[in-house]
Structure 1
Amino acid sequence: MSIQAFNEMRKIKRIHQAEYRPIADLITYSPLPTRSLQQIDPFIFLNHHGFQTYPKGNQGLPFGPHPHRGMETLTFILEGDIMHMDSSGHESVIGPGGVQYMTAGKGLIHAEISSKAFKQNGGDLEILQLWINLPAAKKMIAPNYIGLQKDQIPSFELDSGRVKVQQLFGQWNGVDGAFEGNIPLSMSTIYLKKDGKFEKEIPTSENIFFYIVRGKLKVNEELVNFRNLVEFENSNGIIQVEASEDAVLILGHAEPINEPMVAQGPFVMNTQQQIYEAYQDYQAGKFGTWNF
């Protein structure tokens, strides 16, 4: 279907620039949450680490053992790697182009650090982590983790190869996503060459997560730079995207959960009492044993 087939485009509500929030020597930007945007239900948090180049003999990522409950993490590795270890016994090293999907559920302890090889040899690093909320009925499900390398993730091309899509959740262009989510969800990592373009029609009831990782895009006729999140209204119309330069985009959409949310530290629950219980359970050792 051609871009000219539709006249109506989904309205852009606001463009949010990611805020600079370094963590030790790790360059970090975050567009969500900020003073201007608390969440795009069910998407509640994004950290964009890098781009930066680590020297030989570096300390790597600073995310040692820590707990989570009540949410999920989706981690995009563009450059560098992540060694994941958790109290459920999962362990893997995922490299460039790979993705990690972790369900914290009722609680686990995990670490996200750089591999021994990366710390020894150094190299480029760019990694993003997105937190996705879970509905009350699923906040206490069993924890789970899946890590996939680039060649294990289904992908397809649009616009004569100028747009390459990694399909992570849901179905697009007849391609099923790599992961089966705990909520109905569509999520893609999209790599665009200059002048590459695509369009997508998304149900009006669904909230859109649209974050430009690299490059510059024309989004519904408006130019948007990298490290910006585009917030859309829940209006009729399609999304039209054209790359003004080579770019990387994370695009997701889902029905909002529409439940009370209390996020405190590593826990995302529905009430303050549940947050208190999460801390109690963690201190009582109910999140599993750390054996690494």
Structure 2
Amino acid sequence: MKKETSFSTKGNITDLGPLVINRILPNRYARKVGPFVFLDYVAPTIKEVINTNGMGAHPHRGIATLTYILQGEVEHFDSAGHTGKIYSGGTQWMKAGNGIVHDENFNYDSQTNSKMIQGFQFWINLPAKNKAESPAHIAIQADEVPRKVLPNTAGWIKVILGNYEELSSKIPNYSEQFLYHIHLEAGKHFSINLTDKIEAAAFLTTQNAILNDAEFQAGEFIEFGRKAEEIEIKNTSQIALDVLLFGGEEYTEAIVAEGPFVMNSKQEIVQAYRDFYDGKYGQINIDK
């Protein structure tokens, strides 16, 4: 049996300097999908100038951020002293834990001839017990991302987060969660079965696709029902397509989100702001 579609929607588009940002999650239908409470899609665009000054340092608490860059490079630096730079196909994960200030540079990939930028940033809500932990950071280059060729030369699947068959991401799991990048060649299809009560959604990047016998457009976010059933992806076009499939077990603790903080109560949000303004998250010290 194939999963039913709960709803589909397109995000809200805004400009951030030269970048076109599509805010996918939260939306008018959903506040979260499993542990995922936020998703911005950086739509394909040309960036002519290298930025080294950051996009604006800001705090986080109670979440992990995950940046997946399809094309381009991302430099990370934070108040815990972590730094890292990833290139096209790489991933950066930062556990904000009990509070951190971070900044990023989004640039074109200096290792290639392309000036195209395209990528994603997710916020992953941490369980209450992990919100009090110290910050951490992991940078994963493209060749370190677990990848598997699909049967019948249908394409490939990358495991950005979680597990798929024998593949496992280096990023820690604090609950059952997954983020897959599925690349399907023209005329091919792929099916995956998810267990009961798992929340799941898909996002289409630049191509239309058939999901469980219904066609959806590029730029659409599609959420599925929670029964243990199948998701089938078909590519009926003449060129390859890319789909992000993500989700996990339901987050059952209370969620209170305000600005860059995601906590479990209003009192914790107030404390998060108080600690930030008291300087307890530290500051970024980078020698440029």
TM value normalised by structure 1: 0.90
Distance 1:165 1:116 in 2: 24
Residue 167 of structure 2 is matched in structure 1 by 175
CA contact (8 A) 1:191 1:247 kept: yes
Residue 150 of structure 1 is matched in structure 2 by 142
Give the CA deviation at 1:116: 9.5
2:234 to 229, 242, 245: 242
- Aligned residue identity for 2:267: Q
Alignment gaps of 5+ in structure 2: none
Secondary structure of the corresponding residue to residue 63 of structure 1: coil
Superposed, 1:12-51 pairs within 5 Å as 12-51=5-44
- Aligned residue identity for 1:103: K
Give the CA deviation at 1:106: 0.6
Distance 1:46 1:236 in 2: 25
Distance 1:41 1:153 in 2: 22
1:159 to 146, 151, 155: 151
Residue 177 of structure 2 is matched in structure 1 by 185
CA contact (8 A) 2:34 2:177 kept: no
Write out per-residue CA displacement over residues 42-88 of structure 1, whole angstroms, 9 at most, x where no aligned residue.
21111011210012x35479622111000111111011111100111
Write out per-residue CA displacement over residues 84-140 of structure 1, whole angstroms, 9 at most, x where no aligned residue.
00111111110100111111111111111135985xx98110121011111212111
**Residues 212 and 169 (structure 1 numbering): CA distance in 2 closer, same or farther, change over 3 Å?**
same
After the TM superposition, list the runs of 4 or more consecutive aligned residues in structure 1 that deviate by more than 3 angstroms.
Answer: 57-62, 114-118
2:273 to 243, 267, 279: 279
CA contact (8 A) 2:107 2:117 kept: no
**Residues 60 and 45 (structure 1 numbering): CA distance in 2 closer, same or farther, change over 3 Å?**
farther
The reply to whether residue 95 of structure 1 matches residue 99 of structure 2 is no
Write out per-residue CA displacement over residues 159-185 of structure 1, whole angstroms, 9 at most, x where no aligned residue.
333221111233213222232222222
Distance 1:132 1:256 in 2: 12
**Residues 262 and 140 (structure 1 numbering): CA distance in 2 closer, same or farther, change over 3 Å?**
same
1:265 to 259, 263, 271: 259
- Aligned residue identity for 2:38: F
Distance 1:193 1:172 in 2: 20
Distance 1:61 1:220 in 2: 45
The reply to whether residue 253 of structure 1 matches residue 247 of structure 2 is yes
- Aligned residue identity for 1:49: V
Residue 3 of structure 1 is matched in structure 2 by none
Distance 2:53 2:160 in 1: 24
Moved more, 77-86 or 154-163: 154-163
Secondary structure of the corresponding residue to residue 151 of structure 1: helix
TM value normalised by structure 2: 0.91
Distance 1:233 1:207 in 2: 7
Alignment gaps of 5+ in structure 1: 1-7
CA contact (8 A) 1:165 1:191 kept: yes
**Residues 117 and 241 (structure 1 numbering): CA distance in 2 closer, same or farther, change over 3 Å?**
closer
CA contact (8 A) 1:49 1:128 kept: yes
Aligned length: 282
Q: Percent identity?
A: 28
Distance 1:237 1:160 in 2: 23
Residue 98 of structure 2 is matched in structure 1 by 106
CA contact (8 A) 2:161 2:177 kept: yes
Distance 2:243 2:109 in 1: 28
- Aligned residue identity for 1:9: K
- Aligned residue identity for 1:268: V
Residue 225 of structure 1 is matched in structure 2 by 217
Distance 2:16 2:116 in 1: 17
